[in-house]
Amino acid sequence: MLEFVLFGAGRIGSIHGRNVAAHPQARIRYVVDVNQQFAAQLAAELGATVTSVEEALADPAVNAVIIASSTDTHADLIEASAKAGKAIFCEKPVDLDLERARSCETIVNAAGVPCSLGFNRRYDPSFRALQQAMSNGKIGNLEQVIITSRDPSPPPVSYIKVSGGLFRDMMIHDLDIARWLLGEEPVEVFATASNLVDPAIGAAGDVDSAMVTLKTASGRMCQISNSRRAVYGYDQRIEVFGSQGMLQAGNHTPTTVTFAGEPGVVSDKPLHFFLERYADAYRNELQDFVDAIVSGSTPLTGIRDGIRALELAEACIASLETGKAVKL
């Protein structure tokens, strides 16, 4: 049985904690959160103990950590966990500062511990099946990737202010998916963006709607579109196009029921948000991490991916500021 520490007892921490509790090979030994009440409540549910970062990492029985605390704690926890020799699963991002993220990577590599980064979408059954079909040559040579990612509604402005902005916080997921699907590193990035959804987001210095274009050395291209609001639910779609055809992964719905009546033929809206859409992905992600610990396999998403995606987010911001395609 693998013993886990869970850093962060909030919404996403609870998801990971419950998945570990339901996993036949793993359990949560400790829960750590600055909010003692949250920590105590989740620990009770999971049969775990509340403790501090230091004590948790000092326990030699602990095999692995899950970092699901606030973004500004990620780098410190990664470094401390790596130095303590624990396998690391960290929610994205590594850090909002690229230099700091890179120094984390150095420490993780030096420690030689597995480090999986929470780019959950790669673990989604539909996206994964699309990527595997493409890898198996289903569409011949890949030429174009089109990624749609829209949240059902914008987060509070208080969150926007500490989020690092749309590119580092939201589009980073799509930039990771783009890299994964393109099969080559982007060498050119162009971004444009607007404040269309909520004026308060603009007042906070951020954008809420964005379109990005990537290009690789061999000429493959990718378009990404983002919006902080979609009234019909979480819109998460991928299209890959190549010399032998196209693969598309559509939204997931709660049911397959359709109603035909006066207003037309009506089917379900997409699953509401990431907790619903990516419920399976979170389970697959944990399994991938457990496999990495147990069998030494390389996690599907590592700290390097976190840094690459952050570099692309930085390039988007630079492109937005200069009106030019940024070369990488």
Strand (E) or helix (H) holding 178? helix 171-182
Choice from 109, 153, 223, 287 touching a second copy (CB under 8 A): 223
Q: What is the Cα–Cα distance from 253 to 124, expressed in whole angstroms? A: 14
- Answer yes or no whether residue 219 interacts with a second copy by CB under 8 A: yes
CB 326 within 8 A of CB 319: yes
Strand (E) or helix (H) holding 44? helix 36-46
CB 77 within 8 A of CB 90: yes
Choice from 76, 97, 268, 291 touching a second copy (CB under 8 A): 268
Strand (E) or helix (H) holding 30? strand 26-32
Closest separation in Å from C-beta 15 to a second copy: 15
Q: What is the Cα–Cα distance from 299 to 314, expressed in whole angstroms? A: 25
CB 307 within 8 A of CB 94: yes
- Answer yes or no whether residue 137 interacts with a second copy by CB under 8 A: no
Q: Tell me how long the chain is.
A: 328
Choice from 136, 158, 256, 295 touching a second copy (CB under 8 A): 256
- Answer yes or no whether residue 262 interacts with a second copy by CB under 8 A: yes
What is the footprint of a second copy within residues 112-131 (CB under 8 A)?
125-126, 129-130
- Close Cβ partners of 284 (under 8 Å, ≥ 6 residues apart): 123, 124, 125, 128
Stretch that binds a second copy, among 89-97, 178-186, 257-265, 284-292 (CB under 8 A): 257-265
- Answer yes or no whether residue 178 interacts with a second copy by CB under 8 A: no
- Answer yes or no whether residue 328 interacts with a second copy by CB under 8 A: no
- Answer yes or no whether residue 135 interacts with a second copy by CB under 8 A: no
Closest separation in Å from C-beta 125 to a second copy: 5
Closer CB to a second copy, 69 or 209, in the complex: 209
| Phi, psi dihedrals of residue 322, rounded to the nearest 5° | -100, -15
Q: Which positions touch a second copy (CB under 8 A)?
A: 22, 125-126, 129-130, 133, 138-139, 141, 143-144, 146, 148, 150, 188, 190, 192-197, 209-211, 213, 215, 219-221, 223, 225, 227, 229-232, 235, 241, 243-252, 254-269, 323-325
